[in-house]
Structure 1
Amino acid sequence: SPERTCAGCRGVAPQADLLRFSVGEAPPYLAADPARRLGGRGVSVHPRRACLAAAVRHGAFSRAARRRITASADALAAQAVEQYRRRVEGLLVAAHRSRAATVGTDAVREAMHAPRLGQGALLVVSEDAAGRRDELVASADRLGTACVVFGTKASLGRVFGRGEVAIVLVTDRGIAASIVETSSRMAALSEKE
């Protein structure tokens, strides 16, 4: 895979490991492009707050745009986190449509004890989940199932067309791996320096 240089730390990494910001001709000039689908010039950075702040501090975005751009690292990070959040929601919808998602505490508890669960499954827990959350997270850990904290009960509920959803089990390995990667990028961009 092609390699790119991070505009923040100046480290070289595979293109897929970096977050791209597309440079446009009209304001706001910069758009987070995690899927690398937007055309035109772009700036690549590691999906970490420190690299994004360094790229802003060193004027990498202004150089790429060939004009002065006043963008804050916080605003750019928020834009990228929003793109990643939508990506995770899309992956959860895909898992649900392909019948690879089990929704709800009781259904997840039952599915976790199924012999066909295996490695590669993912437990998605809302930030505000309570009740038997700790029990299910501990059970997932014992079974070697990854666990990700994502969204609120209300936001997960909207994804699945329900009122509130606290816990989801994703059994498709590919979808689970994509959710884990995207969630870790969200967390790295959300951390304050």
Structure 2
Amino acid sequence: MKKIVLIALILLIQLYALAQEKLVKDLDFDGKKDTVYIDQKEREIICRLSTQNFKKLMTKPLEMASDNTYIKATHNGFELRNNWMRSGYACQFRYEKMEKRIRLIGITEYAFGNAANDGSGEASANLLTGNYIGNWHYYDHLANNEQCELVKIPTIKAKLKFKKIYLEEFSEETYFGYSAQLEKIVEKHKNAEQKRRSKN
């Protein structure tokens, strides 16, 4: 019994240490290493850039941050990943040389939907170009003579206008605000597909 408790304690300590890990990478392209991490106590993304004398830059609090919320390196910056039981999202950031600030440049999301996979799919929004691409499904109870079917909505491609969001302005509401905006587009395409299928 003591061994089990000891092993559990060691695993918990390792998980806590992993959650505190810092991403060390040259984010501002000056050849010097910068740091970004999630402050577990304050629940904020903290970034320290060499070009700003390692001054503490932070997001607004991430109220829903959990053990499945972490920072990951990307090709030209980093991303915040947040995974739940059946869905999740990632927000990509990069340093803008002209503005000398870290900017939110993209959002990706995925969902497995409910037990029947209704609402499952994935999407991405490029906040620099305004391009949105989504691949989503819905469960049609009336399809196949009421035998039911998971229907793929044709790939959604839309051009949207996104305002600039910088690291200091970012919060989970940023993602949820975009998500609500994008849900309307998905619903519109779902309704169009349902109408098209009802005519067949």
RCO higher in structure (CA 8 A, sep ≥6): 1
**Class of the TM-score when normalised by the shorter of the 2 chains:** under 0.3
Normalised by the length of structure 2, the TM-score is 0.22
Q: Greater share of strand residues, 1 or 2?
A: 2
Normalised by the length of structure 1, the TM-score is 0.23
Structure of higher CA gyration radius = 2
